[in-house]
């Protein structure tokens, strides 16, 4: 018998099921609980407070992460800016390296900030941040390769090309990443226009602050350890980017790291120095020692074939001597070496200036500002003069003592000359000097602070009434700076005579329009000290003892090629201008032109390969 079919469900039963389903979402009330309106209100307030606390904590944590990441990226850009300039200075000098630097940074920041959305879309699914360690770790290899072409690129364009393919993409991508990160910043409390402008302006301000702070720290400690060297800082910078944005793209940096470790001769290791010298051997040069310091890359370069040795700082020479003549023939037993530049011997003529009261060498005290290889201090010491040397760079002093003929019986002051002379001049009971020799120059431009009116006044205070000062200045007579410097010196020391190292090469002057040379300005303290000698500076004839048995001094000690004010053809801009401490921009704007000319001259003194290999 077939089972009996079930009757259809009635509408009332369906309604009941629906009712039961909906009623199941209602929380049951425990009749035993002490639920009251007051307790319910307290519970709601507690939940609201808890929710508010959790929301603020999350917001603060999120915002902190945003700003910390942006700050880290901006700090690394600031470090990269300084390190890039340091890496270029041995090949191009500090001034040509800085010619395009600020403009390139501005362009990179603008390009990166305005293209962050495009980069994120174009590189998806790769994050732009992943490119940063790749770019950073390839920088040393690219700089090394382009440095080899510096002769073709020239100092005018080489720095721009090099930073254009290294620093520019690093800064642009970093800036784009900063813009993306700051999209997460909550600026709702700010007015609309402020909120729109704040991220960009704030990021740029933070970058400039980081560049200044970290730049000062880097330059103050450069060379103290391997990490503080140019290559060391670039590798550390790349490692910092890799920690900030790790990715599989790091495999692309392996060739660059291998090149840096195995082929880059700029690495401060004995193995890299050996590779460097094997490459220089066919050219007839060898680097005896090298170090990085606060004034630049310093090295001692020998030319066994030619028989001389020079001290290099970045793309300039601080001095040199003929080492093959040491202890040879008639020079055997000499107290001094033979300088390769006659102007250094001319500085010693400070002893030959006639004064109202002749100064016996054994009673004289001399102050030498700027050491170089120590040619002038060595001669003063050889004459028995109590000599104090002020040198800013400890590595320059170390190399001059170790590789050149700098005697030990002198007083060394490793300090900034401005600070030292200011402190000593303010001390009425401090040392005063019969001779002051001012010889500072590097990279195609003078340290401006050492040629200001205020610095000359300090020298005037440190000079005894019967004393003489000799100031070496290298510059292009077709530009205003040499005349401005002479104006400044004469405003403090009215009685002066000026001599240049060599007479003007009229043929070269007509062709190039340059007249770059060293000149020495000899001055007495005031008019009174020279009145008894005829009101002008004159020199006594040198004796054999003055010449120190030195052919270089026999040829160059006595000043010969006098300079007159009409020889300065720098234009009316220099007429009557005196350089004051707060007006140094008068010379700064001419530094670029002077440094570029000096760069060209240096490439004729030593072969390009020596400058490029460093």
In a domain, 325, yes or no: no
| Residue 548, in any domain of the structure | yes
- Are the C-beta atoms of residues 108 and 176 closer than 8 Å to each other? no
- Classify residue 507: in a domain, yes or no: yes
520 in the same domain as 400: yes
Task: Give a yes or no: residue 245 inside a domain.
Answer: yes
**Total structural domains within the chain:** 2
| Average pLDDT value over all residues in the chain | 88
At 273-308, the pLDDT tens digits run 999 999 999 999 999 999 999 999 999 999 999 999
The verdict on 108 and 197 lying in the same domain is yes
250 shares a domain with 362? no
Query: 538, 353 in Cβ contact below 8 A?
Result: yes
Question: Residue 474 pLDDT > 50, yes or no?
Answer: yes
The count of C-alpha atoms lying within 13 angstroms of the C-alpha of 466, restricted to the half-sphere facing its C-beta, is: 13
pLDDT digits (tens, 9 = 90+) for 530-546: 433 345 899 999 999 99
In degrees and rounded to multiples of 5, residue 316 shows phi and psi of -150, 160
Q: Are residues 253 and 346 in the same domain?
A: no
Q: Which pLDDT band holds residue 593 (cuts at 50, 70, 90)?
A: confident
In a domain, 595, yes or no: yes
Average pLDDT, integer, range 488-501 = 95
| 43-47, 295-299, 483-487, 526-530: the lowest-pLDDT one | 526-530
Per-residue pLDDT band for 143 (boundaries 50, 70, 90) equals very high
Of 411, 316, 421, give the one whose Cα is nearest residue 372.
316
Asked, for residue 220, whether it belongs to a domain, the answer is yes
Are residues 258 and 351 part of one domain? Answer: no
If asked whether residues 414 and 549 sit together in one domain, one would say yes
Give pLDDT tens digits for 322-362.
Answer: 999 887 888 888 889 999 988 889 999 999 999 999 999 99
Stretch among 26-35, 114-123, 373-382, 441-450 having the lowest mean pLDDT: 26-35
Domain stops at, among 241, 262, 283: 262
Among residues 228, 262, 296, the one where a domain terminates is 262
pLDDT, one tens digit per residue, over 48-77 is 666 655 678 888 888 999 999 999 999 999
- Single residue among 216, 240, 262 that ends a domain in this structure: 262
The verdict on 252 and 344 lying in the same domain is no
Residues spanned by the domain of 97:
56-262
The enclosing domain of 466 has a CATH number of: 3.40.50.150
Classify residue 403: in a domain, yes or no: yes
Q: What pLDDT score was predicted for residue 531?
A: 38
C-beta of residue 256 within 8 angstroms of C-beta of residue 138? yes
Same domain, residue pair 190 and 75: yes
Find out whether 314 and 525 touch, Cβ atoms under 8 Å.
no
- Domain identity same for 369 and 226: no
Q: Give the per-residue pLDDT at 27.
A: 45
Q: Residues of the chain with pLDDT > 70: what percent? A: 90
pLDDT surpassing 50 at residue 8: no
Mean pLDDT of 572-587: 84
**Can you give the pTM of this predicted structure?**
0.86
At residue 35, the pLDDT reads: 60
Position 49 scores a pLDDT of: 67
C-alpha 411/C-alpha 390 separation (Å) is 9
Residue 45 included in any domain: no
């Amino acid at each position: 018998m077939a089972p009996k079919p079930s009757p259809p469900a009635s509408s009332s039963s369906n309604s009941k099921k629906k009712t039961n389903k909906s009623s199941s979402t209602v929380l049951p009330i425990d009749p035993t609980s002490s639920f009251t309106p007051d307790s319910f209100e307290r519970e709601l307030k507690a939940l609201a407070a808890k929710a508010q606390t959790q929301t603020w904590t999350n917001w603060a944590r999120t915002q902190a992460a945003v700003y910390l990441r942006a700050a880290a990226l901006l700090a690394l850009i600031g470090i990269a800016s300084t390190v890039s300039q340091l890496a270029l200075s041995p090949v191009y000098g500090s001034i040509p390296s800085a010619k395009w630097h600020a403009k390139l940074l501005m362009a990179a920041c603008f390009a990166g900030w305005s293209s962050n959305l495009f980069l994120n879309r174009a590189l998806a699914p790769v994050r732009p941040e992943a490119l940063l360690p790749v770019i950073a770790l390839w920088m040393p290899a690219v700089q090394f390769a382009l440095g080899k072409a510096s002769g073709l690129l020239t100092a005018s364009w080489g720095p721009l090309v090099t930073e254009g393919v290294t620093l520019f993409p690093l800064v642009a991508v970093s800036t784009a990443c900063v813009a993306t990160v700051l999209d997460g910043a909550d600026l709702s409390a700010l007015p609309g226009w402020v909120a729109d402008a704040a991220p960009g302006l704030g990021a740029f301000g933070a970058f400039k602050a980081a560049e200044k702070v970290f730049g000062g720290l880097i330059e103050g400690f450069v060379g103290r350890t391997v990490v503080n060297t140019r290559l060391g800082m670039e590798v550390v910078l790349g490692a910092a980017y890799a920690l900030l944005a790790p990715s599989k793209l790091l495999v692309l940096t392996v060739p660059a790291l291998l090149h840096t470790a195995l082929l880059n001769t700029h690495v401060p290791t004995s193995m890299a120095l050996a590779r460097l010298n094997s490459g220089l051997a066919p050219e007839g040069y060898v680097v005896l020692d090298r170090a990085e310091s606060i004034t630049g890359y310093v090295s001692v370069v020998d030319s066994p074939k030619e028989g001389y040795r020079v001290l290099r700082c970045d793309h300039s020479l601080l001095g040199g001597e003929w080492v093959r003549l040491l202890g040879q023939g008639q020079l055997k037993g000499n107290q001094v070496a033979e300088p390769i530049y006659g102007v250094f011997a001319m500085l010693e003529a400070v002893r030959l200036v006639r004064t109202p009261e002749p100064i016996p060498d054994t009673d004289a005290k001399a102050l030498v500002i700027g050491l170089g290889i120590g040619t002038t201090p060595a001669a003063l010491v050889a004459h028995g003069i109590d000599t104090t040397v002020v040198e800013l760079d400890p590595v320059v002093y170390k190399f001059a003592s170790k590789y050149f003929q700098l005697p030990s019986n002198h007083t060394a002051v490793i300090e900034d000359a401005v600070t030292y002379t200011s402190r000593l001049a303010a001390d009425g009971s401090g040392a005063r000097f019969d001779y002051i020799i001012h010889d500072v120059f590097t990279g195609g431009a003078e340290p401006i602070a050492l040629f200001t009116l205020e610095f000359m006044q300090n020298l005037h205070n440190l000079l005894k009434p019967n004393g003489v000062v000799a100031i070496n200045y290298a510059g292009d007579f077709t530009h205003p700076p040499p005349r401005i410097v002479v104006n400044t010196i004469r405003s403090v020391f009215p009685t002066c005579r000026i001599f240049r190292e060599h007479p003007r090469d009229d043929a070269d002057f007509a062709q190039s329009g340059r007249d770059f040379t060293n000149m020495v300005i000899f001055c007495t303290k005031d008019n009174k000290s020279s009145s008894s000698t005829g009101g002008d500076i004159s020199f006594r004839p040198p004796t054999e003892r003055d010449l120190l048995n030195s052919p270089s001094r026999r040829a160059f000690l006595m000043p010969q090629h006098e300079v007159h004010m009409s020889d300065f053809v720098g234009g009316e801009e220099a007429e009557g201008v005196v350089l004051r401490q707060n007006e140094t921009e008068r010379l700064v704007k001419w530094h670029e032109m002077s440094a570029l000319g000096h760069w060209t001259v240096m490439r004729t003194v030593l072969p390009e390969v020596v400058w490029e290999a460093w």
